[in-house]
Amino acid sequence: MKKILDLFELRDEAISKQNKDLFLSTQFEFKEIKNSSSKDYLALSELNSEVLHVVVEDGSYIVMVAETRYKNKKESHAYLLYYIREEEGSYFIYDMK
């Protein structure tokens, strides 16, 4: 569970630093995820992710996350499902809804 929490902390840090490479390092094979471009996330000034629930299914993790997003001094919220896999001891996001 700690590695999953660390993964989302790293995403939040990447947004704060406006670092695309760091952001993509949280995603499987450092690639963009369908319907979730790094460009859209990097347009935010801040991202705060809170892991709400984790389910293990067929070797993957389904993680419910509450995101608080800040852009142009405005706050918005989203509740998303992230699909995560473990590869050689590291965790990566490979899909989301």
Residue ranges per domain, the chain?
Answer: 2-96
pLDDT level of residue 36 (50, 70, 90 thresholds): confident
Task: Report the distance separating Cα 62 and Cα 48, nearest Å.
Answer: 19
Looking at domain 2-96, which of 3.40.50.300, 3.90.1150.10, 2.40.50.140, 3.10.450.50 is its CATH number?
3.10.450.50
Residue 59 is predicted with a pLDDT of 87
pLDDT digit string (tens) for 39-96? 999 999 999 999 999 999 988 999 999 999 999 999 999 999 999 999 999 999 999 9
List the 60-71 sheet strands across, edge first.
46-57, 60-71, 74-87, 90-96
pTM of the model: 0.93
